[in-house]
Amino acid sequence: MGADLMESEPLFRQWMQAGDDRIRRSMGFSLLDRLYGPQAVPGQPFDQLEASHPAIFLVQYTLAKVMAGHGIRPDLLLGVSLGEFTAQAVAGMVSFATALDAVCQQPALFFRTCPPGGMIAVLASPELHAASPTLAAKSELAGINSDTHFVLAALHADLPEIEDELRRHDVPFQRLPVPFAFHSRFVAPAEQTWRETFGGLRRDTPFWPVWSACDCGPIGPADAELGWRIVRQGMKVQETIAKLESQGGAVYVDLSPSGTLAALLRQCLPPGSTSRLLSVLSPFGGDRERLRKTLSVLRPLAPTATPP
């Protein structure tokens, strides 16, 4: 998650260290040690939710700050899943500290309230879910990313049966490194505690428009139900991108730690789309050069006057 940039980008290092200091005080461990210490193995699944949750948020937020440091400002911020909280923080709807603290508290809340679960990415038509009695009964559609890619959520005990069913249909799939069935009915036991803990979170008017992949459109500061919807509702990436494309498309910049969102979006673009897809991070390294190429594309598009 950005090891190259920790060495080459002072702003990246500054924000990662600032986040690490706050996580040390609230959680009692160093996120930077987990990410970049001697025990960190490149390419290994990062599946400890108490660390992966804040890591995803912090890396995405930090990359946005790096972009801003190079004079790049967004026309619009699109969040997917945990990235929705990042988008709100980048846009100034919530402060960095408030958002990071909330993200750090979420894993313990889920461990206290939810049964063990999991999520599976599937390379097939989402129609398979309804067509298979096993999948329909044992899982829920947690996300539709394209005509040939969707995500299932299910209880942990049912995952082997679901995977056997996917093998029977001869479709590729991959279990995701998460311990709960996010974006499904299986996290409903957390709702009351979530509302008691985060229901009073105040949001300000964003500097830039913020779109939600669960709402398929823009969000506002007065929406008190937004936080829980992000956790409970399915991710509608395909539908959201279709709406953005109908407005003329965009240069999409993937700030996720793995760069996989850009690959998913590529499947969503309609024939003839003039949109471009850029990403910065990859599990295989080369982030410094990828950042350079991304900035070389974006700089000519940057306006001379920008919002704060």
List, by residue number, the catalytic residues. Answer: 81
DSSP string, the chain: --HHHHHH-HHHHHHHHHHHHHHHHHHSS-HHHHHHSTT--TTS----HHHHHHHHHHHHHHHHHHHHHTT---S-EEE-TTHHHHHHHHTTSS-HHHHHHHHHHHHHHHHHHS--EEEEEE-S-THHHHH-HHHHHHEEEEEEEETTEEEEEEEGGGHHHHHHHHHHTT--EEE-S-SS--SSGGGGGGHHHHHHHHTT---PPPSS-EEETTTTEE--TT-TTHHHHHHHSPB-HHHHHHHHHHTT--EEEE-SSS-HHHHHHHHHSPTT---EEEE---TT--HHHHHHHHHHHHGGG--SS---
Among candidate residues 197, 178, 156, 174, the one with its CA nearest the CA of residue 49: 178
Residues in contact with 260: Cβ distance below 8 Å, sequence separation at least 6, in sequence order: 254
Phi first, then psi, for residue 188 (nearest 5°) are: -55, -30
Q: Are 209 and 77 in contact (CB under 8 A)?
A: yes
Q: Which tokens belong to 256?
A: 């996720």
